[in-house]
Structures are given as structure tokens and as C-alpha cells.
Amino acid sequence: GYSAAHASYGAERQAWASRAYHHDPAESIGLILQILHEVPVKGYLGLGAQKSINICHEGKEVPAKITPAGLRGLIIQVMGPRLAEATHGYPFPLAQMPLREVVRWIDLGQEDQNSPWFYNR
């Protein structure tokens, strides 16, 4: 036999289906971290040239509530060893380098260091 619960099966199925496709707001954000440094060097016969260092790390997940200060610390942690390897141990002062967003070229060092960066966007 059927019980009273069977009468509400259609409504429950609809509720389950809507919950299955409902996504909560993202609490983490995927980033592409990149360091690009160009240095003018004298080439063959004294001609000018550029030497470039380009280090990229894709798919780094960060909390959506991360602050600019937290983001800088994370970048130093992730990219510092890669930069040291690419420059054969040359001590780049990563903590003093500008941290910029690519889209609007905003210097995150000039923003409020205690407010979540991605939540205000």
C-alpha cells in the first residue's frame, strides 16, 4: 500500500531537483599568478636587448574573503621559490614589488589592506 507520504512525492522530487542544481556563491576564487620582469641588457655588438623573466602559476584557489595583505603573503609563498629558481638565487624583494590586478591595473598595495578584495567587486 501507499501511505500519505506518497501523495507528496511529486513536490518532494521537484524540491530535490531544484536543490541539486542550486549553487551557493563561490567561496573560493581561482587565480593566475604571474611575475614578469624585463631587464635591458647589452646584446651582441653593444646592441640593446631585453631579458625577460616570466613565471606563471595557474589555478591557485584562494578564499574569496582574502585581503590584499593576505594575497601578497600567498603570492610570496607560492611564487618566491619559483622566482629564486629562475634567477639562480638572486634576492628579489618580493615584499616590496607592486602587486597589480591585470584587468584594471590597480596597485593592491594602495588599497585597504584589511578589507576583502574580491567581495567588493
Question: In whole angstroms, what is the distance from residue 53 CA to residue 103 CA?
Answer: 21
pTM > 0.85: yes or no: no
DSSP alpha helix (H) spans, the chain = 4-7, 9-20, 68-86
pLDDT of 104 over the 80 cut: yes
- 70-91 average pLDDT score: 86
Per-residue model confidence (pLDDT) at position 113: 86
Place 92 in a pLDDT band, splitting at 50, 70 and 90.
Answer: confident
Per-residue model confidence (pLDDT) at position 108: 85
pLDDT digits (tens, 9 = 90+) for 18-66: 766 665 556 888 888 888 777 777 766 666 667 777 888 887 888 888 9
Question: In whole angstroms, what is the distance from residue 30 CA to residue 59 CA?
Answer: 5
Farthest CA pair distance, the chain: 95
| Residue whose grid cell is 636587448 | 49
Place 106 in a pLDDT band, splitting at 50, 70 and 90.
Answer: confident
Q: Please, what is the average pLDDT of the chain?
A: 80
